[in-house]
Each structure stands twice: as structure tokens, then as C-alpha cells.
Chains A and B, each alone.
Chain A
Amino acid sequence: MIAGLLDDFMIRATLAGLGVAFAAAPLGCFVVWRRMAYFGDATAHAALLGVALSLALSLPVLAGVLAVALGMALTVSLLSGQHQGTDSLLGVLSHGALAIGLVAVSFVSGVRVDLSAYLFGDILSVRPADIAVIWGGAILVAGLIAWRWSVLLLATLGEDLARAGGVDPRREQLVLTLTLAITVAVAIKVVGALLIGAMLIIPAAAARFLARSPEAMAVIAALMAAVSVLAGLRGAMLFDTPAGPSIVTAATLLFALAGLAGRLRG
């Protein structure tokens, strides 16, 4: 019966999208709380370089993306610890990774590459095996974050505060780095390198208007992301628009609605 369900590409797309929402929303809360938006972008953009490497070396795309995203996330994590011009440095890394990735993909000869699939996602073409990978990654990410939740929150409030509480903030930063790389690797198929940052930031920012506690914010962000996936896919069907950008458009509309609701409630 499940195999039968998965025959429908819309159902496969929905399952894949919900998996990404499940991982990206709680992680996105930390990205917002720790002002790591550029960090997410740089890691996601580096994924494109991973795609190029995978194609050149005939490796699975997932492996290449995961390796390069992890490398980039670790680099950014190390550099941002030094507090000097971090903002512009992250900007350089983020845009540089994107440009170098595009150039690298163009060098890969012999393979016809649909670049827009990696930039904006190709959710309508996910196969059952992709769904398994996405959900595997999503459960790993959500599980890691749930396991480290309190300690991650403490490290977010202050490194020395965490240290005095017997927590190593560098280890917690590493947890976030790792989960970010995994999220990027599993989300590139769904929303593409350019829009992964959006799936991290927008649902979390929208949830902020309605949430009264960090836990509630993570749950509401996950719900917002799930609704965005459902609404975006529906919209893509109705209006014949690209699916990835439609999901992000739906998330942005939800953000505006949540902002309005939050303001009305006061």
C-alpha cells in the first residue's frame, strides 16, 4: 500500500518537503537566535560546489554535498570564533562559494546538468530512496537538537555562562555545524541551494510572533514550515509555478500573516 502511495509524485514531494520542514524548523530557531543567517547561507551555497565535485568524481551527490557543506560549516564556525569582521567575511564566503560552485559545475563536461534543479530544488522528481534519505537526515537532525536542547540554549545565551555551567560551547557549536551540514545535504533536492536559508529562517522568524517559549517557537516553526510545504505544493499545482520557490513564497506569506496576528494580539 505504501509503495502504491509513493507512485504519486505529489505524495512523494509532500513527504520530502515535510521531512525538510521537520529538520530545518528547529535548527532554524537556533540560526535566528544566534544570528547565524549568513552561516546558513554560506553552508548552503557551498553545497553547489559539492554537486560539481560529485559529478566530476562520479560520486553520489549526497556524499559530495555533505562533505563540502561540512567543510564550509566547520570553516565558518572556526572563523566566526575570532570575532574580526565576521559579518563581511561570511558574506565573502557565502557569495564566493556560490560563484565558485557555479563555475565548477560549468567545468563538469560530459554530463548535462540541470543547474536550476540544484539552485531551486526539484522536489517533484524525488524518488522513494530520496525520501528515505531526507527523513533519515531529518530525524538525525531533530534528534541531535532535542538531545542537546537545554545545553544549546544555554550556550546561545553566553559562552562563559555555559562554561561556568560545565558546558563546552565549542562542542555545542559543533553540534549545530553538523546538523546544518546534514540539513543542507538533504534539503538541496527539495528547495535548492539558494532557498535552504529561507527554509531555516522564515518559519522560525514567523513563529517568533506567536511563541512564548523556545520550545513553543520550535514547534510552531515546524508547523509553519509544514503548512508552507503543503500550501506551496498546492500553489505550484494550481498556478503551474516552480515548486521550491512556491514553498518559500508560502512561508513568506505565513510570516506576514503571523506578524499581523502577533501585532493584533499585542
Chain B
Amino acid sequence: MSALVAIEGLRVRHGAQTVLDDVDLRIAKGEIVTVLGPNGSGKTTLMRAILGAVPLAGGRITHAPRLRIGYVPQKLALSPSLPLSVSRFLSLPTRRSVRACRAALAEADVAGLETREIASLSGGQLQRVLLARALLGDPQLLILDEPTTGLDQPGAAEFYRRIETLRAARGCAVLMVSHDLHVVMSASDRVICLNGHICCSGSPQAVASAPEYRALFGTGTGGALALYRHSHDHSHDHGCDHDHGHSDGADPGGGAGHAHGAPARPSAQETRRGVVR
């Protein structure tokens, strides 16, 4: 199957610092990919590179012909001096019909917000309005930048379920970036762990194959959240000199990662963090 986006040997520098190195990633039609990484791991840069917003120092990024990308930023550069209603925002830059706007807002689960001012929305409402705007372009690939920042865990679970429904209904691929190392969307087809390069990747099911983990899924969240644990006890077996603030303890199968020691067990504290009611 031809990929929507194919990234080969990607290298990005900010000044003298190499932010991304030797990144290979293909996003297939209808696939949900979650990119995880600590702050400064280059995941936002990866996303911006796909959008064409950063110059590449090496490698290449190929888009499928006439690829429609729907981008959901984390926030807007919104000045309170700009009076902007939700429906006007949805029509930027392409004019959309009232009916299309209503449908998109309903699909993003924020029906009836048309006349509200963007500046008056809560974080969660704004997030969904941004999603609605992305949906209006009928995207083949939806790119979400830390979409659950500022949401509590039930809110995040709710949002993930919405994304899952959207994918099922529209068949669009989803690329999601998250810095939450402990919780990912369980509907992810692939979880990619990034820290300057791709440390490991695999399905969350494979990642979370340990029984202790499975017991945590689905309790009270409709299965929308999964625990993805990072231990801090391994070292890479090749000459990485940068500091990994995390490791790939959860890469038991299906992954493109390095060889690791024994799978880590969750500590009591991390188990609590993973439980979502």
C-alpha cells in the first residue's frame, strides 16, 4: 500500500544542534500513529517537518499526491483584540456553508458553538473547534499536536474515543503527538517512541502485553486509554551520546527498536498513574 506520508532518513538541525536524526516513518491510509517523547525529543519538529514548516538538513519527506492534511494545533496565537466567532474561524481561509460548519461542530462534539467568540472558549472547547475546522477540509491525514494538553483524564479519554470514532467513520489516518509517556490512546495502530531518533515502535497491545497492564485497560474509560510505561533502567547498545530521559521498557514485540533487557514491571506509583476512572 502506498503511504500518505513517507519519511526517509530525516535529519533536522536547529543551529548547531541536531534535533532529529535518521528518522524513517511511513503513515499508511487510515492508520492511527501516536508519537511519544519527552520534551525536547523532536516530536513537534517532526510534525512541523511533515507540514513543510522546517528546512530539512537531510533525508526526504514524500507526500501522496494532493494529500489533504488537517492540522489541529495545540493552541492559537489568539489575541484578545481579535473579535472572531467560531463560525467565522471555521471559514478561514475557505468559505464554508452554515450547514457544513454545523455538521463539523457536531462531529467534533461541540454542536451549537457557532456564534461564540473563539477567545471565550474553554481549552477543551477550543481543541474541538480546531478539530472541527480540520474536518471541514475532509482530511486524509489528521495531525494532532498534544491534543489532550489541559484536559483531565476523563476529558482525554473522551477525546480519544472521539478520534477513534472519526477514524472509523471517515477512514482518515491520524498522527498524534504526545508527551504523556504513561497514557496513550489504545486505538493507536502504532506507538512510536522518539528521542531525536526513533527509539522503538510497536502496537500499544504489544507494548502493553504484560498482564498487569492489560488489567488496567478499559476500566471506566471505555478502553480509550492504555498504559505505556517507560522504565529508566536501560542503555542503548549503540553509541548514542544524548541523554535519554526515558527508555523502551515496553517494546515487547512488533517493534523496530533496539534490543532490551527484561521487560519492566510497573511500580505501584506508576500503576496508579495509569488507572483512569
* Interface residues of A, Cβ cutoff 8 Å to B: 32-35, 150-151, 153-154, 156-161, 163-165, 167, 204-205, 208, 211-214, 216-217
Contact indicator B53/A160 (Cβ below 8 Å): yes
Contact indicator A205/B81 (Cβ below 8 Å): yes
Closest partner residue, chain A, to B69 (CB atom): A164
Least Cβ distance of A228 to chain B in Å? Answer: 19
CA distance A33 to B70 in the complex (A): 24
The residue from A33, A159, A165 contacting B53, defined by CB atoms under 8 A apart? A159
Contact indicator B48/A157 (Cβ below 8 Å): no
Q: With A150-B92, A163-B52 in contact, do A214 and B79 touch (Cβ < 8 Å)?
A: no
Q: Which residues of B contact A211 (CB under 8 A)?
A: 83
Contact indicator A32/B92 (Cβ below 8 Å): no
Q: Which residues of A contact B77 (CB under 8 A)?
A: 156-159
Least Cβ distance of A17 to chain B in Å? Answer: 24
Interface 0/1 of B48-62, CB less than 8 Å to A: 100111000000000
CA distance A207 to B89 in the complex (A): 19
CA distance A157 to B129 in the complex (A): 14
Contact indicator A212/B78 (Cβ below 8 Å): no
Q: Which residues of B contact A212 (CB under 8 A)?
A: 83, 85
Asked whether any CB of chain A lies closer than 8 Å to the CB of B143, the reply is: yes
Q: Which label, helix, strand, loop or mixed, suits the secondary structure of the B interface?
A: loop
Closest partner residue, chain A, to B92 (CB atom): A154
Q: Count the B residues whose beta carbon is within 8 Å of the partner chain — how many? A: 25
Q: Could you list 27 A-B pairs, sorted by A, with CB under 8 Å?
A: A32-B79, A34-B79, A35-B79, A150-B92, A150-B93, A153-B92, A154-B93, A156-B82, A157-B78, A157-B92, A158-B76, A158-B77, A163-B51, A164-B51, A164-B69, A164-B71, A165-B71, A165-B93, A165-B94, A208-B81, A211-B83, A212-B83, A213-B83, A214-B83, A214-B84, A214-B88, A217-B83
Least Cβ distance of A107 to chain B in Å? Answer: 40
Q: Which residues of A contact B112 (CB under 8 A)?
A: none
CA distance A160 to B77 in the complex (A): 10
Asked whether any CB of chain A lies closer than 8 Å to the CB of B73, the reply is: yes
Least Cβ distance of B73 to chain A in Å? Answer: 5
Contact indicator B73/A33 (Cβ below 8 Å): no
CA distance A192 to B260 in the complex (A): 70
Contact indicator B88/A157 (Cβ below 8 Å): no
Q: Which residues of A contact B85 (CB under 8 A)?
A: 212-213
Q: When A and B form their complex, which 5 residue pairs have the shortest distance between CB atoms, in order from nearest?
A: A164-B71, A150-B93, A33-B82, A154-B92, A154-B93
Q: Which residues of B contact A217 (CB under 8 A)?
A: 82-83
CA distance A150 to B89 in the complex (A): 10
Q: Which of B52, B76, B81, B92 has the most CB of A within 10 A?
A: B92
Contact indicator A208/B92 (Cβ below 8 Å): no
Q: Which residues of B contact A154 (CB under 8 A)?
A: 92-93
Q: With A159-B53, A167-B93 in contact, do A213 and B88 touch (Cβ < 8 Å)?
A: yes
CA distance A161 to B133 in the complex (A): 10
Closest partner residue, chain B, to A149 (CB atom): B93
CA distance A217 to B137 in the complex (A): 27
